[in-house]
Amino acid sequence: AAAARVKGKLRVVSSAGEPLNPEVIRWFDANLAAPIHDHYGQTENGMMVNNHHGLAHSVRAGSAGFAMPGYRMVVLDEAGNELGPNQPGILAVDIAKSPLRWFEGYHQAETPTIAGGYYRTGDTVEYEPDGSVSFIGRADDVITSAGYRIGPFDVESALIEHPAVNEAAVVGVPDPQRTEIVKAFVVLASAFKGSEALAEELAQHVKKRLSAHAYPREVEFVTELPKTPSGKIQRFLLRKAEVEKRKAG
């Protein structure tokens, strides 16, 4: 009812924080008749990558957009080399070529992310061929399984597309053979109940949409997910609990 009252009255909507998944984008289009655009920033830096409302450029679903004017954003490998399109690495600010950058570091504390002429955000992304930035995850959220690097966001987005799933959080948990395996924590829609059969159905759902190495080998049904006051999923708490559980077991 609330959506119906607002429908047609919004020109465009902005989002930041957790990356937008395709289901949210579809909901805004169907229920509010308004496009919702993603943006990327940090508390200490403000917005650095945007789908700009005031600048003409293509908007691609799943992309945080393009660098803010006054910033040169790059993707770095572990050695600090700049990477090209479709090569996952750490999103960073080229300090010398970003005249509007204002964050200089933390008060009375070292800022190890500033080194070699770059400020490293700690987030794993990749550039698309058109120059837009696609978010993969926090560096410590990226899962390494059997030599593959898996971004939790892609798995979560696939899970959300299933009608049984209201919310999902994906983490890597220790595994002696694969280094880590993908585990999904799922909050179900009210009409569904958790079962082994549903867990397998969700795993196969992801497997068909992504790849054989990215599907969750474990699915746990929960009533809620740990979040910050601003609504960001705290995957590290889920990961920490899993590590402790395995050590105890």
| pLDDT tens digit sequence for 110-119 | 766 788 999 9
Q: Which of 138, 171, 196 marks a domain boundary?
A: 138
Task: Please name the residues in contact with 166: beta carbons below 8 A apart, sequence gap of 6 or more.
Answer: 187, 188, 189
Indicate the pLDDT class of residue 159, thresholds 50, 70 and 90.
Answer: very high
CATH number for the domain including 178? 3.30.300.30
Same domain, 157 and 123: no
Q: Which of 81, 107, 138 marks a domain boundary?
A: 138
| pLDDT tens digit sequence for 194-240 | 999 999 999 999 999 988 888 999 999 999 999 887 777 888 899 99
Same domain, 122 and 240: no
Same domain, 20 and 112: yes
Same domain, 62 and 155: no
Same domain, 134 and 148: no
Query: Whole domain around residue 133: which residue ranges?
Result: 2-138
Of 33-37, 39-43, 138-142, 232-236, the one with minimum mean pLDDT is 138-142
Same domain, 7 and 130: yes
Global pTM value:
0.68
CATH number for the domain including 75? 2.30.38.10
Average pLDDT over residues 87-94: 92
Same domain, 48 and 132: yes
Q: Which of 138, 166, 186 marks a domain boundary?
A: 138
**pLDDT surpasses 80 at 109:** no
Q: What angle do CA 121, 124, 114 make, to 5 degrees?
A: 25
**pLDDT surpasses 90 at 154:** no
Work out how many domains the chain is built from and give that number. Answer: 2
Average pLDDT over residues 5-23: 83
Greater pLDDT, 249 or 197: 197
Report whether 159 contacts 165 (CB < 8 A): yes
Indicate the pLDDT class of residue 74, thresholds 50, 70 and 90.
Answer: very high
Same domain, 107 and 18: yes
Average pLDDT over residues 67-78: 95
| pLDDT tens digit sequence for 169-180 | 999 998 888 889
Give the model's pLDDT for residue 98: 96
**pLDDT surpasses 80 at 249:** no
Task: Please name the residues in contact with 50: beta carbons below 8 A apart, sequence gap of 6 or more.
Answer: 37, 39, 40, 64, 65, 66, 68
Average pLDDT over residues 107-136: 85
Same domain, 191 and 210: yes
Give the model's pLDDT for residue 61: 73
Same domain, 112 and 177: no
Q: Residue holding tokens 């949409």?
A: 209
Of 89-93, 119-123, 182-186, 195-199, the one with minimum mean pLDDT is 119-123
